[in-house]
Amino acid sequence: MRAYIVSADALNLREQPSTEAAVLVRLVRGQAVARLDEVEWGAGWWRVFADTGGDMAFEGYCVARHLSSATAGSAPAPPAVSSAGPDPATIMLSRHFSLADLTISETAARRGIDNTPTGEVLENLKRTAGHLEDIQTRLGAIIAVSSAYRSPALNRVIGGSNSSDHTRGLAADFTCRAIGTPHEVCTRIEASGIGFDQLIHEFGRWVHIGFGPRMRRQSLTVFQGTGYKLGILTEAEARALS
Ligand SMILES: [Zn+2]
């Protein structure tokens, strides 16, 4: 195995050698990785191992041109400069979560809605990213955030609640395939000491977690047509209470 250093501000380590594949972890500049073999996996992809600390280590694929040899003393590449301002994918809110991770929205992209947070929301997103790091560490697995911040315009289009923690940058929806179903992930989080305001098992499809200032540690479940029920429940349990 040969050692390399990440020479870009951020570098995705993926499950497969393709930009379509799931991101296992986002590596940051200076992270050491080990190349696992001498094979070119597709054009310019290498299979590497990265120990990111906190009991977390990952094996996956990344684009080789963002790695420099750790022994040759080669200078890291200068940061990319874009005329459109900094790339949200390279602005890190915490060790593993970028601004892009917490502002991503297919709906916003499709409808041309600006989902850029400012000021107070940005500070909240940093707090949320910190909580998500805590969750990843406790679960010992990577979570995939599908939606965190929603601008007021985006929230209106989605039909979300006005008071939603998402509009303040204080909530995230995610899945964690390594742990299991959203029900299993919710159960693990509820049983852990992790602090939150609301933990919601939503439609059996994802985990919603909110970090509003009350931090009530309230657990809820909702399925189509059931309304919100107290506790982390299976669909059958939620329907039995409706
Ligand atoms: Zn949510």
150 C-alpha vs ligand 1 centroid, how far in Å?
10
Query: Domain 88-240, what fold?
Result: Muramoyl-pentapeptide Carboxypeptidase; domain 2 (3.30.1380)
- Is 27 in contact with 54 (CB distance < 8 Å)? no
- pLDDT value of residue 205: 96
- Is 102 in contact with 128 (CB distance < 8 Å)? yes
pTM over 0.75: no
In the structure, ligand 1 is a single-atom ion and the residues with CB under 5 Å from it are 173, 208
52 C-alpha vs ligand 1 centroid, how far in Å?
28
In this structure, which CATH number among 2.30.30.40, 1.10.357.10, 2.40.50.220, 3.30.590.20 belongs to the domain 2-69? Answer: 2.30.30.40
198 C-alpha vs ligand 1 centroid, how far in Å?
10
Q: Report the greatest alpha carbon distance in the chain.
A: 65
Pairing of strands 198-202, 218-223: parallel
Domain boundaries, the chain: 2-69, 88-240
User: 187-233, pLDDT tens digit by residue?
Assistant: 999 999 999 999 999 999 999 999 999 999 999 999 999 999 999 99
Q: Of 77-91, 121-135, 203-217, 220-234, which range is least confident?
A: 77-91
CA 46, chain centre distance (Å): 23
Question: If you ran DSSP here, which 8-state letter would residue 184 be given?
Answer: H
Determine the average pLDDT of the residues in 6-21.
86
Please give the Cα distance from 66 to 5 (Å, whole number).
Answer: 8
28 C-alpha vs ligand 1 centroid, how far in Å?
27
Determine the average pLDDT of the residues in 127-132.
97
